[in-house]
Amino acid sequence: MKLSRVSVPCSEGQTPERQSIDVNDLVIEALQVIAKELADCSITVDTQLTSELPRIMGDKGQLQEVIVNLVQNSIDAMRTVSAKPRMLHVRTEPHGRDAIAISVEDTGPGIEQKTLSSVFDAFVTTKTKGMGLGLAISQAIVERHDGRITAMSGVKSGARFEIILPIKG
């Protein structure tokens, strides 16, 4: 049985905690959470964070979980890279007038085209020890925030994930 959506449960009767979030702070804090593993794997992080972005409304913990998951996936993918530098590019920028884009791009091997279309489906994984739930849960969280997440491969090299979140005043 193939599941295409995963529900992200809150505690019974509880809704996600919404607060005003600075997206750049969100990215920096997520990178701090996983900084030791990035260093241990000799991954250079290049951040390009657009200053003075409008704030978004959302559950900071859930959105941070999405970014940490994407970075963790990049780390796992780059473990096999030895012939070129291991680079992680993380960017924030406006997306039109009413949204913010967060992108996470690595120099790993990328995602095979046959897997790309199902990468957000539950139980789809390219890892030998992966469960295939991280990206499905990440997608559910982003959609719960009225956003969207996309995956691309072979942009320059590696994989690129982009999160688009609406600006809410």
**Cα gap 10→16, rounded to integer Å:** 7
60-78 and 23-33 helices cross at what angle (nearest 10)? 50
- CATH 3.30.565.10 describes domain 19-166: yes
Beta strands in 50-122 (DSSP E): 56-58, 87-94, 99-106
* pLDDT of res. 5: 38
* pLDDT of res. 116: 75
* pLDDT of res. 28: 98
* pLDDT of res. 156: 60
* Sequence spans of domains, the chain: 19-166
* pLDDT of res. 76: 92
- Under DSSP, the state recorded for 110 is -
* pLDDT of res. 111: 85
- Give the predicted TM-score (pTM) of the model: 0.85
pLDDT tens-place values along the chain, 169 residues long: 333 333 444 444 445 678 999 999 999 999 999 999 999 999 999 999 999 999 999 999 999 999 999 999 999 999 988 888 999 999 999 999 999 999 999 999 988 888 777 787 765 555 556 555 789 999 999 999 999 999 998 756 799 999 999 997 5
Residue whose structure tokens are 């657009």:
50
**Cα gap 117→104, rounded to integer Å:** 18
C-beta separation of 70 from 137 below 8 A: no
* pLDDT of res. 13: 42
Who's near 78: CB < 8 A, 6+ residues apart?
A: 41, 43, 86, 88, 106, 107, 108, 158
* pLDDT of res. 129: 60
* pLDDT of res. 123: 53
* pLDDT of res. 4: 36
Residue whose structure tokens are 């279309």:
117
